[in-house]
Amino acid sequence: MVADRSRRRPTWWPGATGYEVYLRSFADSDGDGVGDLPGLTGRLHHLAELGVDFLWVTPFYGSPMADWGYDVADHCSVDPTFGTLDDFDELVERAHALDLRVVVDLVPNHTSDQHPWFLSARADPEGDHRDRYIWRDPAPDGGPPNNWISHFGGSAWTLDEASGQYHLHLFLPEQPDLNWRHPAVVEEFDRILRFWLERGVDGFRIDMAGTLFKDRDLRSNPQVADWDPAQPIWEQWQAFEHRHDVLQPESLDIFRRWRAIVDDHDGYLMGETFELDPHGMARLLPGDGLHGGFWFAPMHIRWRADAIRRVLVEPTALLGDRLVWATGSHDIARAPTRLGADAAGRQRTLALNVLLAGLPGVLVLYQGEELGLVDGDVPEGAGLDPVGATDGAAGRDGCRTPMPWSQGPANGFTTGAPWLRSAERQPEETAAHQVGRRESWFGHYQRLLAVRRQVPDEPVDWIDGGEGPVVAYRRGVMHVAANTSDEASAIEVDADVTLEFATPGVALGEQALLLPPRAAAIWTTTGDEPA
């Protein structure tokens, strides 16, 4: 069954649902243990049947894989690990035939240290490529030029012994930051966008969208707590107020430039906008640059009604359609793991997605979320994430284990040895077991996405009073509610109610909707068909 796309609006992304494909772990076509483009093409029917509108594909470009593809050496190529340009063209053609859009990752903050530009910059400090990256002399004591730290821990500066200068890297040393004040960098990314748009892509997810520009004078950040490079990486990051290294306003001019390019192709720009203050998000998304940005706060909350209201109500009012909602990604433990790691975690994740599904903006599911997957079990010593190598607690291997398609060796992901070793999934966790079963996790998400297409384009009216365990709102005739409690709850409803979607156990009583623990529902009133 391919979902009905007849209700699309004039521009395709308002109210759309996306699906993040972590390509290395989605489907392997050739038995080398690594997911690839032909493998993804062969599984597109799974996404069409689920009912998503677009897939976001993580980087497949030429790369030495120091950060599994987010260290790009050639932005206009396909790494042989993943296939060829012809394979990419076939993916786009097949996706479009299934009415699926294709969004690809753009990685503009940095390149690989094996990129031709950086190889030239390092080899010739006086050459044309040097200023396309950020190099500085040491501080008077011989140390780094300022106190900036990497997202992956430790200093954001690495000394080049040959030239005596440091290069900046907000991530791995193998990922040198580009200098976005250099016109050649700006022009090159214009070319990269046009290259992929002309091959038929429908948009870009902008990796680390808030980090392009840095303070012109590279001033040190105010330090607000003790910093020790042996600390967990998140504690290191929080030891500073990031006033000068990220979220500089000049990035907005680049986003406006890209907007003009993609608008000619009806393309969508969504940013990885890691900003946990909704007003900060609003500054990143003024409406004339990126179409939308990921709102990460739902990935960083405890399961409490007040916390859920806090990350939903104000951002919705401020940003509306500019929000990209998600409960997980390839960079954080899966939502069912964070929210319980058992049946309760899966139920809470589904209930949270029900709340997100009725709100303005774009919803993105992470690969395997539709199967209710918790983090995979990676044996000790088998982890491959460079973050986990420095901070085991922050390692991302568990959320990146291969997709379980069927029962048996490697769960149908590959005929070879998977690139990332993990314990075999249980039969009930596989797509083969769940697809076609109404009461499976796949069945729940499939029905939820079908109902999401019917949400009226009306203002959000929060009807829960701001208190109690039930979080609820309405949009026109459609109502959405989730019970955050581990006890049953009830919500008063009109006499004339049609239940459009409900998690297991939800029941209509006399003018009351009965919600079991961690349950959610969507209903319409007065018998009217939603707009």
Quick check: is 37 in a domain?
yes
- pLDDT, tens digit (0-9, with 9 covering 90-100), for 487-523: 999 999 988 899 999 999 999 988 899 999 999 999 9
- Helix, strand or coil, per DSSP, at residue 358: coil
Are residue 23 and residue 99 in the same domain, yes or no? Answer: yes
pLDDT at 7: 37
pLDDT at 527: 53
Strands laid side by side in the 165-168 sheet: 135-136, 165-168, 157-160
Are residue 21 and residue 82 in the same domain, yes or no? Answer: yes
Task: Spot the catalytic one: 67, 71, 113, 207.
Answer: 207
* 426, 452, 478 - which closes a domain: 452
Residue 33 scores a pLDDT above 80: yes
pLDDT at 110: 98
How far is the C-alpha of 325 from the C-alpha of 160, rounded, in Å?
A: 41
Quick check: is 4 in a domain?
no
Residue 321 scores a pLDDT above 90: yes
Residue 3 scores a pLDDT above 90: no
Once rounded to an integer, what is the mean pLDDT over residues 89-94?
98
∠ Cα 451 455 351 (to 5°): 60
How far is the C-alpha of 236 from the C-alpha of 149, rounded, in Å?
A: 8
Domain span including residue 503: 461-525
CATH code at 150? Answer: 3.90.400.10
pLDDT at 4: 40
**DSSP-assigned beta bridge partners for residue 165:** 160
Quick check: is 394 in a domain?
yes
Length of the chain: 531
Residue 528 scores a pLDDT above 80: no
By the 10 Å C-beta count (0-12 exposed, 13-18 middle, 19+ buried), 279 is classed as exposed
Are residue 121 and residue 193 in the same domain, yes or no? Answer: no
CATH code at 496? Answer: 2.60.40.1180
* 420, 452, 484 - which closes a domain: 452
Are residue 442 and residue 493 in the same domain, yes or no? Answer: no
The band of 388, judged by pLDDT with boundaries at 50, 70 and 90, is confident
Higher pLDDT, 467 or 8: 467
Quick check: is 1 in a domain?
no
Are residue 471 and residue 507 in the same domain, yes or no? Answer: yes
Once rounded to an integer, what is the mean pLDDT over residues 211-225?
98
Radius of gyration of the chain (CA): 23
Quick check: is 243 in a domain?
no
How far is the C-alpha of 95 from the C-alpha of 54, rounded, in Å?
A: 9
The band of 406, judged by pLDDT with boundaries at 50, 70 and 90, is very high
Residue 178 scores a pLDDT above 70: yes
Are residue 380 and residue 435 in the same domain, yes or no? Answer: yes
Torsion sign, CA atoms 466, 457, 444, 367: negative
Are residue 353 and residue 466 in the same domain, yes or no? Answer: no
CA distances from 122 to 128, 164, 265 (A): 11, 11, 37
- pLDDT, tens digit (0-9, with 9 covering 90-100), for 423-460: 999 999 999 999 999 999 999 999 999 999 999 999 99
Closest CA to 485 of 471, 505, 499, 474: 471
How far is the C-alpha of 120 from the C-alpha of 505, rounded, in Å?
A: 63
Are residue 467 and residue 446 in the same domain, yes or no? Answer: no
Task: Spot the catalytic one: 67, 174, 177, 272.
Answer: 272
Residue 217 scores a pLDDT above 70: yes
Are residue 304 and residue 371 in the same domain, yes or no? Answer: yes
pLDDT at 341: 74
Are residue 472 and residue 405 in the same domain, yes or no? Answer: no
Q: Contact 516/505 with Cβ under 8 angstroms? A: yes
Looking at the 3D structure of the chain, how many domains does it have? 3
pLDDT at 114: 98
- pLDDT, tens digit (0-9, with 9 covering 90-100), for 98-112: 999 999 999 999 999
Once rounded to an integer, what is the mean pLDDT over residues 192-197?
98
* 416, 434, 452 - which closes a domain: 452
Quick check: is 78 in a domain?
yes
- pLDDT, tens digit (0-9, with 9 covering 90-100), for 255-313: 999 999 999 999 999 999 999 999 999 999 999 999 999 999 999 999 999 999 999 99
Quick check: is 406 in a domain?
yes
* Average pLDDT score over the chain: 95
207 among known catalytic residues: yes
Tokens at residue 332, please?
């954080």
Residue 16 scores a pLDDT above 70: yes
pLDDT at 8: 37
pLDDT at 10: 56
How far is the C-alpha of 523 from the C-alpha of 493, rounded, in Å?
A: 9
Residue 9 scores a pLDDT above 90: no
**What's CA 246's distance to the chain center, in Å?**
19
CATH code at 320? Answer: 3.20.20.80
How far is the C-alpha of 369 from the C-alpha of 468, rounded, in Å?
A: 28
Q: What percent of the chain has pLDDT over 90?
A: 94
Neighbours of 508 (CB within 10 A): 15
Are residue 322 and residue 409 in the same domain, yes or no? Answer: yes
pLDDT at 2: 38
Quick check: is 221 in a domain?
no
Are residue 252 and residue 304 in the same domain, yes or no? Answer: yes
Once rounded to an integer, what is the mean pLDDT over residues 318-327?
98
Among 16-30, 116-130, 517-531, where is mean pLDDT lowest? 517-531
272 among known catalytic residues: yes
Q: What percent of the chain has pLDDT over 70?
A: 97
The band of 394, judged by pLDDT with boundaries at 50, 70 and 90, is confident
Once rounded to an integer, what is the mean pLDDT over residues 82-99?
98
